Amino acid sequence: MGRDESGALVMPIKRAITTIFIAIVALSLSGCAGTETKGSMHDHSTQAAGDLSSDDVMFLQMMIPHHQQAIDISDLALTKSEDAELLALAKNIRDEQGAEIVKMKAWLEEANASSHGDSHSMSGMLSDSELAALDKASGKSFDVLWLKAMTGHHTGAIDMATMIENAKSAEIKSFGQGIVASQSAQNKAMAAMIKRIG
């Protein structure tokens, strides 16, 4: 420890200045790190949620198995029916809804959400007994039973689409509108087919 020309102590002052300087630097670095972390967390949160609301996520999680059942019973029609118009419709439903499942899974993956939701009561889904009756039917009886079952299934999907009619994401909203338009048109076609087949 020394003294300056006036005889005052020097080292304690230098030590105090050094300590204050270190403290200021440490606080500055801490502030920067805090800001960066907060920003990173915000970015991750935005990415995780994307433009999907909880209703959007639930809709997609429910609609995937709903679509899958439509594909399964369409595959059944393709092996059992001999009606050309019904076969064309079944193929169209299978291909259309298969592509939509791929799209829905991609949206959920982008949102870091599971494609498997909780067990929900989904409108229009066929029960095990209804599926068994469809499997046992044949000929025109099968065709009429299938058309009625698919009409009810489509009506359920149209009802479910109301969940996303006010979706924040324009893409999700448009997707729901597409389901309503496509399946409403198919229901009209099936009503005419039921009348024709009798």
Two tokens at 179? 């389901």
**Tokens 């067990």, located at residue:** 119
Interatomic CA distance for residues 95 and 89, integer angstroms = 10
Region 7-20 average pLDDT: 50
End-to-end CA distance of the chain: 110
Question: What percent of the chain is modeled with pLDDT above 90?
Answer: 64
Interatomic CA distance for residues 118 and 121, integer angstroms = 10
Count of Cβ atoms closer than 10 Å to residue 150 Cβ: 25
pLDDT band, residue 146 (cuts 50/70/90):
very high
The pLDDT of residue 117 is 61
Region 9-23 average pLDDT: 50
Most confident segment among 7-11, 155-159, 169-173: 155-159
Reported as a single tens digit per residue, the pLDDT across 57-71 is 999 999 999 999 999
The pLDDT of residue 32 is 40
Interatomic CA distance for residues 102 and 84, integer angstroms = 27
Reported as a single tens digit per residue, the pLDDT across 78-112 is 999 999 999 999 999 999 999 999 999 999 999 88
The pLDDT of residue 190 is 98
> Is 151:190 a contact under the CB 8 Å cutoff?
yes
Two tokens at 101? 């499942």
The pLDDT of residue 14 is 53
According to the 3-state scheme, what is the secondary structure of 139-197? Answer: HHHHHHHHHHHHHHHHHHHHHHHHHHCCCCCHHHHHHHHHHHHHHHHHHHHHHHHHHHH
Question: Would you say residue 7 has pLDDT above 80?
Answer: no
Region 181-185 average pLDDT: 98
> Could you tell me which of 60, 27, 31 has the C-alpha nearest to residue 164?
60
Q: Select the more confidently predicted residue: 165 or 118.
A: 165
**pTM of the entire predicted model:** 0.73
Length of the chain: 198
